[in-house]
Structure 1
């Protein structure tokens, strides 16, 4: 674990709100120089605290108005390798997130689709034909609020 001071936490909070904020603007807001802010950001990246900066795309604006979380239980874990399932599911472009989890299901998938009919097509033609798929449970996303989570 990396020790973070107040300035590090403030930089992380600013980047969590807007990863495009310039180091000079962050430094000015925090009372430090642009080079000092940049050095701190680089140190946080090198320490693995900052793993990258991502583009936040509005899926609905791109025509993907439906998000579904799928719980997937593999039918026979011994006969189909987990690697085969993971490789096949990661090749489906509508599957945005693949999580290997403990519990009732073996995997949790985040799937985007244009509408419910499009989701049904993806489910029937792509997901249900994956190697080892047994039980599947779908939960349609109604609303979502993203939070940056604890920093520090």
Structure 2
């Protein structure tokens, strides 16, 4: 699948996703064209899915982040799908994850402050369908966040 040159190219891409293909290729010891072809092949294979902007929400006034762990009442056949569709409509929900186990879904919610979070929680979260149990975990500090894997 990937050879050592691909892995080296991906390492440089992970550390500097804004770099040009020519610059990444040079760092990996390739010609610009060869580096571009390899990166393009990895995009087409779905290995590289895109480049994202990382926004510092706290700098924009969103100081509260809460992780909600939700167990659903799955008595209705489409409860899971209905809940997920409704959760996608809450603008302050920035991430939705599904699980197997006691917790079915985890929502990441951003708010400006605690009053704003309480409003979101009461007006939008508690209005979501099929919630059997909900647990809120307030983010205190992000100690480590890195999506890069050693290649």
TM-score, normalised by the number of residues in structure 2: 0.91
Tell me the residue number matched to 2:51: 53
Runs of at least 5 residues in structure 2 that lack an aligned partner in the other structure? none
Q: How many residues align?
A: 149
Contact 1:12 1:151 in 2 (8 A): no
SS in 2 for 1:117: helix
- Spell out, residue by residue over 1:72-93, the C-alpha distance to the aligned partner (whole angstroms, 9 max, x if none): 111x212362111110000111
CA shift, 1:148, in A, is 2.9
One of 97, 100, 103 as aligned partner of 2:98: 100
CA shift, 1:151, in A, is 4.4
Q: Which deviates more, 86-95 or 61-70? A: 61-70
Runs of at least 5 residues in structure 1 that lack an aligned partner in the other structure? none
Runs of 4+ in 1 over 4 A off after TM superposition: none
Whole-Å separation in 2 of the counterparts to 1:37 and 1:126: 47
- Spell out, residue by residue over 1:96-127, the C-alpha distance to the aligned partner (whole angstroms, 9 max, x if none): 11111122211011111111221111111101
- Spell out, residue by residue over 1:8-35, the C-alpha distance to the aligned partner (whole angstroms, 9 max, x if none): 1122222222221111111111221111
One of 36, 39, 43 as aligned partner of 1:38: 36
Matching of residues 2-151 of structure 1 within 5 Å: 3-74=1-72, 76-79=73-76, 81-144=79-142, 145-151=144-150
